[in-house]
Amino acid sequence: EVQLVESGGGLVQPGGSLRLSCAASGFIFSIYAMTWVRQAPGRGLEWVSTISDSGSNTNYADSVKGRFTISRDNSKDTLYLQMNSLRAEDMAVYYCTRGTSGMDVWGKGATVTVSS
């Protein structure tokens, strides 16, 4: 079964850091670009970042550029999102999704709460 499982969410103070992970299974992880999408409470979907299959190319939303870093470990079939200098507006459910144009598989999400 094709599956994506996010982990690493939690409560963090403004200005703090958190690293999300997304474990992939059921498909050949290394041949797919991967994407993070977030959803603030009661709001719509917002694209955050995408990484190419090899990890050599990355793209970021302006709202997170310079603060978030997307990476991957193809030997571990795992995607990451390092989030630094977190702000209240970063509070959201973060979804891991397969692909850059397709986004055909989604995880259940990891909740990030930013509060003092």
Partner 1 sequence: DVVMTQSPLSLPVTLGQPASISCRSSQSLVYSDGITYLNWFRQRPGQSPRRLIYKASNRDSGVPDRFSGSGSGNDFTLNISRVEAEDVGVYYCMQATRWPRTFGQGTKVEIK
Kindly report the number of other CB atoms within 10 A of residue 110's CB atom: 23
Q: Two tokens at 104?
A: 């055909």
Beta carbons within 10 angstroms of residue 23's beta carbon: 16
Is residue 7 a contact partner of residue 107, using CB atoms and an 8 Å limit?
A: no
Of the pair 37, 92, the CB lying nearest partner 1 is at 37
Q: How far apart are CA 77 and CA 48, in angstroms?
A: 20
Tell me how far, at minimum, the Cβ of 97 lies from partner 1, in Å. 8
Question: Binding pattern to partner 1, positions 77-116, x when CB under 8 A?
Answer: ------------------x----xxxxx-xxxx-------
Q: Does 73 bind partner 1 (CB under 8 A)?
A: no
56 Cβ contact partners less than 8 Å away, ≥ 6 residues apart: none
**Residue of the chain from 62, 75, 115, 116 that contacts partner 1 (CB under 8 A):** 62
Binding to partner 1 in span 26-55, by CB under 8 A: 35, 37, 44-47, 50
**Site residues for partner 1 per CB under 8 A:** 35, 37, 44-47, 50, 59, 61-62, 95, 100-104, 106-109
